[in-house]
Amino acid sequence: MGCLVEIIGRNRLVDQLLRAGLEVALPLRDRGIDLLVYADLGENRADFQARPIQMKSSSKQGYGIHRKYKKFADLLIAHVWNVRCEDDVVIYATTYDEAVMIGDEMGWTKTNSWIDKNAYSTRAPSKRLMGLLEPFRMTPERWRERLGLEPDG
């Protein structure tokens, strides 16, 4: 069942990225990066820019921070919620540092789970957590800016 939720979540995330006018590549192996997102930046730009995304999908709601993702520069961690109902899908995207700041605000980084196991997660987000996540809620219109893949001028 978990594998199916991951596949559906990835497809929901890819759909939103494509609607943002971005391109998506899927790595052959999962080594901490689930997607590479890039944009055609136009004829006047010869450089190639891409951002890695780690995805966490949930059939309902779930949010967590994991120290293992600290090693990836420019990684965005996308939490995809309510994947089984297209109309209710919500996606939040944070950097590792932003996720840890949320964990600090929630008091999670002082727990044994974070200190001993390098991770903390919840399947029952509180109103406080929802408020902290709201600035990171994604829509197709927000992805280019969030990923830093805006064309120059």
Is 11 a member of any domain? yes
- The first and second tokens of residue 94, run together, are 């944070």
Q: How many domains does the chain have?
A: 1
Is 113 a member of any domain? yes
Is 126 a member of any domain? yes
Instruction: Give the tens place of pLDDT for each residue, 43-68.
Output: 666 667 889 999 999 999 999 999 99
Dihedral of the alpha carbons of 11, 4, 72, 66, in degrees to the nearest 10: 130
Is 37 a member of any domain? yes
Instruction: Give the tens place of pLDDT for each residue, 66-86.
Output: 999 999 988 999 999 999 888
Is 152 a member of any domain? no
CATH of the domain at 19: 3.40.1350
Instruction: Give the tens place of pLDDT for each residue, 97-109.
Output: 999 999 999 999 9
Instruction: Give yes or no for a contact between 72 and 103, defined as CB atoms under 8 angstroms apart.
Output: no
Range of the domain at 111: 2-147
